[in-house]
Amino acid sequence: MTRPVLDNTSARRVFLDRHALHEPPQGAAHGDPLKTLITRLGFVQLDSINTVARAHDLILFARRPRYRPKALDTLYTRDRALFEHWTHDAAVIPIEFYPQWHMRRTRDAERLKKAWSKDRRAGFEAQYQTVLDHIRDNGACSSSDVGTDEKKGSGGWWDWHPSKTALEYLWRSGALAVTGRSGFQKRYDLTERVIDTALTDPANAPGTEETIDWCCSQALDRLGFASHSELAAFWGHIRPAEAQIWVKQALARGTIVPVDIQSADGSLRAAYARPDLLDDPAIQSPPSPRLRILSPFDPALRDRKRAEQLFGFHYRIEVFVPEPKRTYGYYVFPILEGDRLVGRIDMKAFRAEDTLRVRACWPERGIRWGKGRTAALMAELNRILNLAGVSEIDFAPDWLRAPL
C-alpha cells in the first residue's frame, strides 16, 4: 500500500500550526490565555542567557506580542499553574502534567545517584537530610543558603558543593520542588508545600505503560508528524525503544499511520501521523506573513536536524564556540516570515545605554532583502524594545550582510 505523502509546504503549515506560529501573533498574554498557550506548546524551555530577552520570554512574545515576563512569573510562582522540571532541558510545564513526571522522577532518582557519584564531588548523599531539615525549618532556599561551610570547587559551573548537589537531586527525584527563581537562581521548597497532594500522591501516578502512551500521544499531537525517536525526545523522559514499541501498538490499533514527509530539498522522510493528517485545516491556509524574531531555543527550532530538513535552515548556536571560529555570532536569532526562515540577526540589548544594538543581519540564500523586509524587520525590532527593556535601536554601518 502506498504511503500518503505530505508535501513540504503542507508539512511546514502543519508544523507551524502545532507550534502556534501559523496564526497571527496577537491576543491576550496573561492568566488563562497564557496558560492555554503554554499547554498547547507542552512546555516552555527556561534559559539564563539574556542578550535581548531570556529564551522563555521571547518564545512567548513571538506568539503573543502583548506578553510581558511578569505574566509568566505570576502563573508560576503565585497561581501555581506551572511547575518546573526537566524535559530535554529545564522548563516550566502545566501543573496538571505533574503526575506524568512520576516515572521521570523515579528514573532520575536511580540514574543521577549513579552518575553524580562518579562526576560530582563525593558526599552529597550525606547532605539529603540536612538540606531537608534546613528547608523544613527555614522555608524555601537557594543553593547559596546551604552548604555555607563547604569548600567550593574550582572546576566550573558544574562543580557543585555537596549541598547544592543534594538540592538538585532532591528536586529531580521529587522530594523538593522549585518554587520560583530569584534573578535566575532556583528556590527550592518541600514538594508538599508547593504542589497539591492530589498530584503528588504516588497512588495517583500513572504506571510506566500509561506514561509512555501519554508521552507519545501528546508529543505527536504537538508535532503533527514524527519519527519514533522524535516522539521519545519531545518530553525527554522515555526511551527511543519504548517509543518504538508504542508506534507498533498504535499502528495496530489504527490510531496512527505511516506517512512520508517531503523535506525542503525534495527528499522524503518516513514518519507517523494521525490518520486525518492530509485533511488538517492548517494545510488549506497560508500562515501569517508577519516577520518574527525567534529564540534559538524556540520549540519549533529545538530539534536542529528537523528544522533543517523541514525548512532548509541550518542553525547551530555558537555560545560555546571561540569567537574567532564563529560563523555568525555569540547568540544569533532566527527570523521567521510566513512559513520560511528568511534570515538571522545578531543583536544585543545594552540596558545601561538604553539601546538595542544590531550588529548584523544575514538573509538566507535565495532570499531577496529589499525595503519591504527591512521595514518589517524594523517593525519587529520596535515591538521587541519593550521586552528588551530599552528604547533605542542602533544599527552597525554594515549591518545588512550578504548570505553566507
pLDDT at 155: 46
User: 3-class secondary structure for the chain?
Assistant: CCCCEECHHHHHHHHHHHCCCCCCCCCCCCHHHHHHHHHHHCCEECCCCCCCCCHHHHHHHCCCCCCCHHHHHHHHHHCCCEEEEECCCEEEEEHHHHHHHHHHHHHHHHHHHHHHHHHCCCCCHHHHHHHHHHHHHHCCECHHHCCCCCCCCCCCCCCCCHHHHHHHHHHHHCCEEEEEEECCEEEEEEHHHHCCHHHHCHHHCCCHHHHHHHHHHHHHHHHCCECHHHHHHHHCCCCHHHHHHHHHHHHHHCCCEEEEEECCCCCEEEEEECCCHHHCHHHHCCCCCCEEECCCCCCCCCCHHHHHHHHCCCCCCCCCCCHHHCCCCCCEEEEEECCEEEEEEEEEEEHHHCEEEEEEEEECCCCCCCHHHHHHHHHHHHHHHHHHCCCEEEECCCCECCCC
Distance CA 81, CA 92 (A): 10
Q: Please give the grid coordinates belonging to residue 90.
A: 529545564
- Does 157 score more than 50 pLDDT? no
- Does 105 score more than 50 pLDDT? yes
- Does 19 score more than 50 pLDDT? yes
Please give the average per-residue pLDDT across 267-273, as a whole number.
98
- 365: phi then psi, degrees, rounded to nearest 5: -60, 135
Q: Do residues 48 and 54 lie in contact, with contact meaning Cβ atoms separated by under 8 Å? A: yes
pLDDT at 277: 97
The residue ranges of every structural domain in the chain are 120-194, 291-395
Other Cβ atoms within 10 Å of 214 Cβ, number: 17
Q: Please give the grid coordinates belonging to residue 30.
A: 496573561
pLDDT digits (tens, 9 = 90+) for 74-88: 999 999 999 999 999
- Does 246 score more than 80 pLDDT? yes
- Does 247 score more than 90 pLDDT? yes
Please give the average per-residue pLDDT across 219-241, as a whole number.
97
pLDDT at 162: 86
- Does 147 score more than 80 pLDDT? no
pLDDT at 307: 96
The CATH number given to 120-194 is 1.10.10.10
pLDDT at 70: 97
**pLDDT band, residue 149 (cuts 50/70/90):** confident
pLDDT digits (tens, 9 = 90+) for 21-40: 999 999 999 999 999 999 99
pLDDT at 150: 72
pLDDT at 158: 54
Q: Please give the grid coordinates belonging to residue 94.
A: 502545566
Please give the average per-residue pLDDT across 313-329, as a whole number.
94
**pLDDT band, residue 118 (cuts 50/70/90):** confident
Name the percent of the chain lying above pLDDT 90. 88
The CATH number given to 291-395 is 3.40.630
